[in-house]
C-alpha cells in the first residue's frame, strides 16, 4: 500500500502484440524513470484483465540490463488481453487505483484499447478522481485514425513484402508445381497489409499481380477473368488477399469463426477458399500461404525507433497534465522522411477505423499506386532487397 500523497504510474499492454510494442514500453518507462515525478511505476500483467485481478508488478525493481534487451524483443512482455470493460469495471478500477494511489495510466494498444482508455478517463472525470490517461498506439493493421501510421505496421509491412517476394521466388523455381499462389494477410477490415505486399514490386510483371482489399467487394467472375488473363500472359499468378474479404452481398469469402468481445467478426480460410475457386473453375493447380503471427519477424529500425518515441511522448503528455488522448505520429513535409509526435482526443479515436484510401489503389482497386509506395516505403527501415536473376541467354553448341 502506498503512502499518502504519492503519485504512481501504471502501464499496460493490450490487444494483438506487435514486434515493437515493447519498444513503446521501454520508451515510456525510461522517460518516467528519468523524470523522477512518479513515486512508483507499475506494470499490469495481461492488461486491464490482469489489473482487475490486481496482478501488478514493480517495474522499477527489474534489473537494469532488462530494458535495452526488451526494446528489440517482440510480443507483449507484460502480457496482453482482449477484454471489454463491463459496466461496473470502471468503478472497480478507480477504487483499485485509489488504493494503490495510481493517478497516471498508459495503455498501449489499438482501437479497442483506445476505447478502454477513453472510458476510464471519462469515469474518472465523472467521479472527480484525479487520473490522467494516455493511449499509446500500436497495431499492425494500421487502422487508427488521426495518426500518419501506427507503430507495429512498418515491421509487419516489411515482413509481408518480403514474404511475397520469397514465396514468388520459390514458386518460380518449380513453376509447374503450383502456378497460382494465394497469400492471406491479417488486418481486419483495412487493406494496409494487403497493399504492403506489393512494396517489393519493381516491374509490372513482378508479383503480386492481384490485390484483394477488404474495402472493395469480391466478385468471383471478375476475379477468375483477371487470374486467367495474367496466367496466360505470365504462366503464373500471385494473389494477396485480406482475411476479411467479403462478396457483393456482404458475406465473408472465408468461413465466419466467431465474434470477439468487442464485436469484431473473426473469419478464417479466405486463401483456402480462393484456391478452391481457382482449381474448380480454371482447373489450374493452386496453393496458399497464411503467415499469421509470424508477421512480427524482422523488426524495422524505423518502426522500433518510432515506437520508442511514442512511449516517450505519452509520458511527457502525462507530465504536462494531459488526459483522455492518444499520441499520434505526424509526418513532416520535405524530401527526407521524418516523423514527430502529436496527440488527438480519445473521443475521436475510440472504436474508429481508418481504411485504406482509394488514392493508394489503381482504378481497378487491384494494385497500389505510386503514392502508396511514397507513403509506406520509409516505414520499412532498410531498403528491400533487389534479388538478381539470370538472363535467358541460350548456350550455343
Q: How many whole angstroms separate alpha carbon 248 and alpha carbon 269?
A: 18
- Which residue of the set 89, 112, 141, 324 is catalytic? 141
**Matching residue, cell 493508394:** 360
Strand pairing category for 40-44 and 286-289: unpaired
Q: C-alpha distances in angstroms, 192 versus 211, 212, 363?
A: 11, 11, 17
Of the candidates 298, 111, 292, the one whose C-alpha atom is nearest the C-alpha of residue 185 is 292
| Helices 301-319 and 153-173: angle between axes, nearest 10 degrees | 170
Say whether 374 is catalytic. Answer: no
Of the candidates 295, 44, 38, the one whose C-alpha atom is nearest the C-alpha of residue 156 is 295
Question: What percent helix, strand, coil does the chain show, rounded to 5?
Answer: 40, 20, 45
Q: C-alpha distances in angstroms, 244 versus 144, 233, 312?
A: 17, 29, 34
Q: How many whole angstroms separate alpha carbon 231 and alpha carbon 279?
A: 13
Taken in order 290, 382, 357, 209, the sign of the CA dihedral is: negative
Asked if 85 and 116 count as a contact pair (C-beta separation under 8 A), the reply is: yes
Q: Which residues pair with 252 in a beta bridge?
A: 246
Q: How many whole angstroms separate alpha carbon 156 and alpha carbon 8?
A: 34
Peptide bond just before 208 cis, omega within 30 deg = yes
Please list the active-site residues.
141
Amino acid at each position: 500500500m502506498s503512502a499518502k500523497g504519492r503519485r504512481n504510474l501504471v502501464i499496460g499492454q493490450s490487444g494483438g502484440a506487435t514486434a515493437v510494442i515493447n519498444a513503446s514500453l521501454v520508451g515510456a518507462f525510461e522517460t518516467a524513470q528519468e523524470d523522477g515525478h512518479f513515486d512508483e511505476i507499475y506494470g499490469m500483467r495481461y492488461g486491464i484483465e490482469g489489473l482487475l485481478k490486481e496482478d501488478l508488478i514493480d517495474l522499477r525493481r527489474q534489473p537494469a540490463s532488462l530494458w535495452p534487451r526488451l526494446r528489440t524483443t517482440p510480443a507483449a512482455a507484460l502480457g496482453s488481453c482482449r477484454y471489454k470493460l463491463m459496466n461496473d469495471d470502471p468503478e472497480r478500477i478507480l477504487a483499485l487505483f485509489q488504493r494503490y494511489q495510481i493517478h497516471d495510466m498508459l495503455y498501449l494498444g489499438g482501437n479497442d484499447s483506445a476505447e478502454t482508455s477513453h472510458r476510464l478517463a471519462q469515469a474518472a472525470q465523472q467521479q472527480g478522481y484525479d487520473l490522467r490517461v494516455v493511449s499509446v498506439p500500436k497495431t499492425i493493421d494500421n487502422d487508427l485514425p488521426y495518426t500518419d501510421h501506427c507503430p507495429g505496421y512498418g515491421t509487419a509491412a516489411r515482413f509481408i513484402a518480403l514474404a511475397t517476394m520469397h514465396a514468388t521466388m520459390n514458386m518460380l523455381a518449380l513453376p509447374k508445381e503450383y502456378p497460382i499462389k494465394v497469400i492471406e494477410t491479417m488486418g481486419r477490415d483495412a487493406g494496409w497489409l494487403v497493399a504492403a505486399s506489393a512494396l517489393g514490386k519493381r516491374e509490372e510483371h513482378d508479383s503480386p499481380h492481384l490485390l484483394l482489399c477488404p474495402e472493395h467487394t469480391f466478385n468471383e467472375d471478375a476475379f477468375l477473368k483477371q487470374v486467367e488473363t495474367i496466367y496466360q500472359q505470365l504462366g503464373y499468378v500471385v494473389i494477396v488477399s485480406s482475411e476479411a474479404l467479403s462478396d457483393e452481398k456482404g458475406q465473408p469469402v472465408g468461413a465466419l469463426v466467431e465474434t470477439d468481445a468487442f464485436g469484431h467478426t473473426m473469419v478464417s480460410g479466405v486463401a483456402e477458399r480462393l484456391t478452391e475457386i481457382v482449381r474448380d473453375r480454371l482447373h489450374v493447380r493452386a496453393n496458399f500461404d497464411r503467415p499469421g503471427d509470424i508477421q512480427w519477424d524482422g523488426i524495422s529500425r524505423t518502426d522500433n525507433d518510432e515506437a520508442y518515441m511514442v512511449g516517450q511522448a505519452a509520458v511527457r503528455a502525462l507530465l504536462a497534465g494531459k488526459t483522455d488522448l492518444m499520441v499520434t505520429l505526424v509526418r513532416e513535409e520535405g524530401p527526407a522522411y521524418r516523423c514527430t509526435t502529436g496527440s488527438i482526443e480519445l473521443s475521436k479515436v475510440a472504436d474508429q477505423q481508418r481504411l485504406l484510401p482509394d488514392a493508394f489503389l489503381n482504378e481497378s482497386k487491384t494494385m497500389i499506386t505510386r503514392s502508396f509506395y511514397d507513403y509506406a516505403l520509409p516505414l520499412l527501415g532498410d531498403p528491400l532487397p533487389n534479388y538478381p536473376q539470370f538472363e535467358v541467354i541460350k548456350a550455343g553448341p
